[in-house]
């Protein structure tokens, strides 16, 4: 599990390549479960909750990492209540099932673009016949090089890495150990019969490679931390390749993958504001929150920038002067000290008001892979969790925000 063997005060630490020690977590034991931590239980609890299966989430090679109950309720069609079905069904079967029941034929082409063939097999045939012959007879599994191959009741399983290691080392798929289970007799994969049936195991291994090639699984990628950084992995963003991004008040809960990518690079935030004569308070722009992120806000009429490094430390850079009234341009400049492919390096922060420097500070480390699992960006308020503990949500800005511009370098 991503919380490690000893549990975690902040689940996002794992996604950035860190493993905590119980000695550190113990210091906050009275706060666990409260508003200050994004905590997660130790891996042993995941094992216990997956009983009687082997392994856990992230381990696609074994049913403990993939098998889930599903409940279907349709009184108008399914007359027998409380019925059970044992046919093999995969999540990719849900859409074909809905299409069949609704009476939709998926298009071969959409807006002139040829569509990939529909994967999965409808399980509508099981609704009226509990003992119907299984139709989904073959299914590959893969996640982080943990591999599995199901065929006609047999399951070949190959574990590559334990799930609580955020930085797995070198890996050779040709020397990976495979196990074999007859799931028609061995529901929980307790009896490995690989030694007794080497040819059947060999056939399933060969079948896995064929399925992997067919469904674009190859090449295998067993990295973890790197794969959580969308920019390093080349995943698309709504911003495209734009270096200047402009946002306006009312932009709230913008998903992380649609927010400006500020990690491992230099950047600027420029906020054009109108400050009332009585001063202003509140959030100008923030991304992430309690688990990691940043916030540019005004507190005590003074411009403030907070960088939350995965809840391990929160660097606060604040001007000792209040913002002037009227039209104000507030700018934060981040000068990253790493190269194009260096992650998590230090950075220097400078805050300026109307072109004049008013505060500066240094970040000894920056978030390498991802700020937050789910919290995106807000302009003019904070709709998620707070980036630090000095303000109360939603901390709406009491002045006027014209626009907020990100410059990505």
Q: Which residues contact 288 (CB under 8 A, 6 or more apart)?
A: 256, 294, 308, 371, 372, 375, 384, 387
Domain ranges of the chain: 232-408
Helix H or strand E encompassing 213: helix 198-214
Which residue do the tokens 């599995």 mark?
A: 148
Q: What is the pTM of this model?
A: 0.83
Do 160 and 222 form a contact (C-beta atoms < 8 A)?
A: yes
- pLDDT tens column, 289-309: 999 999 999 999 999 999 999
pLDDT score at 19 = 78
pLDDT > 90? residue 229:
no
pLDDT score at 17 = 85
pLDDT > 90? residue 24:
no
Average pLDDT in the 33-51 region?
88
Average pLDDT in the 173-200 region?
96
Q: Over 233-287, what HEC string results?
A: HCCCCCCCCCCEEEECCCCCCECHHHCCCCCCCCEEEEEEEEECCCCCCEEEEEE
Query: Can you read off the two tokens belonging to residue 361?
Result: 């500070």
CA dihedral 67, 73, 78, 81 (to 10 degrees): 80
pLDDT score at 2 = 62
DSSP calls for 323-359: PPSEEEEEEEEEEE-S-TT--S--EEEEEEETTEEEE
Q: Topology of domain 232-408, per CATH?
A: Jelly Rolls (2.60.120)
Helix H or strand E encompassing 199: helix 198-214
pLDDT > 70? residue 46:
yes
- pLDDT tens column, 187-199: 999 999 999 999 9
* Residue 315: pLDDT band with limits 50, 70, 90: very high
pLDDT score at 113 = 95
Tally of helices (H runs) and strands (E runs) in the chain: 6, 17
Q: What is the rounded average pLDDT for all residues in the chain?
A: 93
């Amino acid at each position: 599990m991503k919380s490690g063997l000893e549990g975690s005060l902040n689940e996002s630490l794992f996604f950035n390549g860190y493993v905590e020690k119980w000695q550190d977590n113990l210091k906050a034991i009275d706060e666990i479960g409260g508003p200050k931590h994004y905590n997660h239980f130790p891996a042993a609890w995941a094992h216990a909750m997956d009983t009687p299966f082997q392994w856990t989430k992230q381990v696609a090679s074994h049913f403990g990492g993939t098998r889930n109950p599903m409940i279907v309720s349709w009184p108008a069609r399914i007359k027998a209540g409380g019925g059970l079905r044992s046919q093999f069904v995969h999540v990719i079967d849900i859409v074909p099932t809905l299409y069949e029941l609704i009476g939709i034929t998926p298009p071969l082409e959409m807006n002139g673009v040829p569509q990939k063939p529909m994967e999965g097999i409808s399980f509508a045939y099981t609704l009226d016949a509990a003992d119907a012959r299984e139709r989904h007879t073959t299914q590959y599994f893969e996640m982080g090089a943990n591999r599995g191959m199901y065929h006609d009741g047999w399951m070949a399983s190959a574990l590559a890495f334990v799930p609580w290691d955020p930085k797995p080392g070198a890996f050779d798929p040709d020397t990976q150990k495979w196990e074999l289970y007859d799931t028609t007799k061995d529901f929980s994969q307790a009896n490995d019969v690989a030694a007794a049936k080497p040819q059947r195991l060999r056939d399933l291994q060969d079948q896995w490679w064929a399925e992997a090639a067919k469904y674009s699984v190859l090449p295998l990628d067993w990295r973890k931390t790197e794969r959580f950084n969308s920019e390093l992995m080349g995943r698309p963003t709504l911003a495209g390749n734009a270096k200047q991004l402009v946002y306006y008040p009312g932009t709230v809960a913008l998903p992380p993958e649609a927010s400006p990518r500020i990690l491992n690079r230099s950047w600027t935030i420029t906020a054009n504001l109108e400050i009332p004569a009585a001063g202003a308070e509140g959030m100008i722009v923030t991304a992430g929150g309690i688990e990691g992120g940043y916030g540019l806000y005004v507190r005590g009429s003074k411009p403030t920038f907070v960088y939350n490094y995965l809840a391990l430390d929160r660097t606060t850079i604040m001007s000792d002067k209040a913002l002037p009234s009227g039209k104000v341009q507030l700018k934060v400049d981040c000068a990253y000290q790493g190269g194009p492919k260096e992650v998590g390096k230090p950075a220097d922060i400078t805050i300026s008001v109307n072109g004049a420097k008013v505060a500066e500070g240094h970040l000894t480390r920056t978030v390498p892979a991802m700020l937050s699992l789910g919290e995106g960006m807000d302009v003019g308020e904070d709709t998620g969790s707070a980036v630090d503990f000095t303000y109360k949500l939603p901390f709406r800005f009491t002045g006027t925000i014209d626009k907020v511009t990100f410059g990505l370098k």
